[in-house]
A and B are shown apart, each in its own frame.
Chain A
Amino acid sequence: MRPPAPKPPPPPASSSSSYSRREPRPENPLLLLPSCRAAKLSLGCPLLDRLLSGGLPAASVTEIAGESATGKTQLCLQLALLAPQSPLSASSLFLHSDLPFPLHRLRRLAPKSCPNILDHVLVAAAHSPAELLSLLARAQRLLSDPGRSPHRLPIRLILLDSIASLFRADFDASPADLRRRSALFFKISAKLKELAYRHQCVVVVTNQVVDVVERDAGNTVAWSSGRRVSPALGIAWANCVNTRLFLTRELDGDGAGGSARRRMRVAFAPHLPEQSCEFVIRRDGVFGIEPPQR
């Protein structure tokens, strides 16, 4: 087992259970530079890591959007299993809203060499936005006070699969309900970002897509399986995430029936250019592939 990496400098807020209200103090970005470069969660594949310039960043919310069966959950499970052995050296908290939790897939993905790696994956279910908020409050207490189970690594990866299914029920399209829904987005996002910042966590949220009909420009729309799609929950939710990765599937006309080319695209990110990379889903995980030589 690799020794755990040195801990990054603690965030300015105190680590007591209630974040203390002190006078705001400016930080120096130069001092933050080394920890920013080091605290990235690798995806386990050098090509995908190159796409993301090292991996998923800490203190930031990354969204993975795509149609169903494009590999979102697979990627989340893969991240949860990579986290304990990565330089981040962390446990993960997996919040799922789609029933049931894919335990058998997780078991299949787990490397045979470490049988108790599943100890480092904490799972909780949330079926509504209110439940999610209460789960996040519990997670805050857990993160602030990690001393309870000393053999477990600190939680520094939070996965939420998926945000769209939390909001499917009991919201109509009336303006008042949409406003209420948006207010919940911001509340959830603010909580996730606070956890991410105070405890230097990597937060990953998955999202589904919806069809779009009207002409939409820019980076919100992509072609997947022959349809024009856009991530669900609209522009309000798009304002709540820092990075958005789009997983698309292009049906290959000339390949064997059912084969598809999958592509991971950076829709927007504060630190990445807009680029994409092809990948495949194999039995042992999601891996990037080089584009075929022309």
Chain B
Amino acid sequence: MVVMVLFAISAGPTGSSDLIFLLRTAPALPPRLLIRRPVSRRSSADRPRPASHRSSSAGSARSSGSCCSSSSAPPPPRRRRFLAGGSDAGRAVATRRVLDMGAGENNPLGAQNAWDMLSEEQSQKHITTGSGDLNGILGGGIHCKEVTEIGGVPGVGKTQLGIQLAINVQIPVEYGGLGGKAVYIDTEGSFMVERVYQIAEGCISDILEHFPHSHEKSSSGNKQLQPEHFLADIYYFRICSYAEQIAAINYLEKFLGEHKDVELCIYTSQVRIVIIDSVTFHFRQDFDDLALRTRVLSELSLKLMKIAKAYNLAVVLLNQVTTKFTEGSFQLTLALGDSWSHSCTNRVILYWNGTERYAYLDKSPSLPVASAPYAVTGKGVRDVSSNHKRVRVT
């Protein structure tokens, strides 16, 4: 105890008279950077309730911390407990062991053992990219519950791939797709609706090619295979500054929560992919305080990870490349460098090899690095094959 107290003194710039201040009060982080605690965790029955036995000891900060399940302000951190060795009191409470805590439908962020996760992972559908080779290196397509970053030089097809994914996620379940909706957050203005319409038409024509009798089906839950329906199921946000980007992502959590509840009852589709194009554009301006930029970006990426896991959707971040001065020469790397590079689960880099477009899987927890060619045609992203190249009009 004595050791810990001394450590706390030396860690911060405060003197011993301010020790009580450290123990009692919450860190005053600026509101924008406060990480919101999810209310569901508090109200889940699995969590132990240490508040009851704590009421005997003074410490308003602590008890207020445990009971504010309905307030919107994040509760102060329970640092107090660690410094004071509160596990003595914790022993008296009959708590469920952490090993027995299970994840379920109402608590997707809870603890799970690897075997259950394995069976869940195997039943997971992936979002096809339109190109078989590209799907191959990605292990079937873009994975849900993961954040994938796709970077490349201008013109190599990042936005095309983003739009293709926004359309492909909507392929109905009976044709092998996810039947979901898409959220497209556009920071650069590259989302051209007529191109989206063209890609939707291309996707539908491919579906009809593979399933020639589909137009005869007319079940009530069947989505009409019209490009207009595909367009209508994209939620499009256009943002013009980094503050709007942060606001949009904060709003997204609320937006997804609302739609999830409503849709579950009606048994229709829900959002299964969130695409941000491009995630770093507004952060490449002059930031007076680079540490602030790092903090904001880290919080952004954690939030996106959480959204991906909690709502079982795929998050795709499109990123730009920049030249970086390393080892005496300029090299091409993804924008925002080291501080951002760990903020994704998978990373794909799109590059030119002569006149061909290639995709390179750079980072993945379960797949080896590999490259595959792909092409951008009038119908969208497809495999490289001679009769589907975009017609060159000279």
Chain A stretch 235-255: residues in CB contact (< 8 A) with chain B: 235-236, 238-239, 241-242, 244
User: Given A175-B325, A182-B284, A242-B189, do A23 and B251 touch, yes or no (CB 8 Å)?
Assistant: yes
**Is A234 part of the contact surface with B, judged by Cβ < 8 Å?**
yes
Bound-state Cα–Cα, A217 to B154, Å: 12
- Report A172-230 residues with CB < 8 Å from chain B CB: 175, 178, 180, 182-184, 186-187, 190, 193-194, 196-198, 217-220
- Chain B 319-340 per-residue mask, 1 if CB under 8 angstroms from chain A, else 0: 0111101000000100100000
Residues of B within 8 A of A194 (CB): 240-241
Q: Judge whether A217 and B352 touch: CB under 8 Å.
A: yes
- Our pick among B189, B196, B286 for the contact of A187 (Cβ within 8 Å) is B286
Q: How many residues of B contact A (CB 8 A)?
A: 56
| B387 part of interface (Cβ distance < 8 Å) | no
Q: How far is the CB of A204 from chain B (nearest CB, A)?
A: 14
Q: Which of B154, B188, B240 makes the CB contact (< 8 A) with A198?
A: B240
Residues in A with CB closer than 8 Å to B183 are 26
A32-89 contacts to B (CB < 8 Å): 32-33, 36-37, 51, 53, 57, 59-61
Binds B, one of A99-107, A147-155, A162-170, A268-276: A268-276
Residue of A29, A186, A220 touching B285 (CB-CB under 8 A): A186
Residue of A nearest to B160 (CB): A270
Q: Which residues of A contact B33 (CB under 8 A)?
A: none
User: Which B-chain residue is minimally distant from A22 (CB atoms)?
Assistant: B247
* Selected interface stretch from B46-54, B91-99, B227-235: B227-235
**A192 → B minimal CB distance (Å):** 10
Pairwise interchain contact A268-B189, C-beta atoms closer than 8 A: no
Q: Taking the complex as formed, is B193 at the interface, i.e. its CB lies under 8 A from any CB of chain A? A: yes
A186–B234 touching, CB < 8 Å: no
Q: Is A160 an interface residue (CB 8 A)?
A: no
Q: Is B354 an interface residue (CB 8 A)?
A: yes
Q: Is the CB of A193 within 8 A of B240?
A: yes
B156 at the interface (CB under 8 A from A): yes
Whether A276 contacts B393 by the Cβ 8 Å rule is yes
Answer whether residue B378 sits at the interface, using C-beta atoms and an 8 A cutoff: yes
- The smallest beta-carbon distance between B204 and chain A, in angstroms, is 15
Assuming A21-B243, A236-B322, A273-B390, what are 10 further A-B pairs, CB within 8 angstroms?
A24-B251, A32-B193, A33-B231, A51-B393, A182-B284, A183-B285, A197-B240, A217-B352, A239-B322, A244-B154
* A-B contacts, 14 listed (Cβ < 8 Å): A24-B247, A29-B232, A33-B197, A53-B194, A193-B189, A194-B240, A217-B354, A218-B355, A239-B321, A267-B155, A268-B155, A270-B190, A273-B390, A273-B392
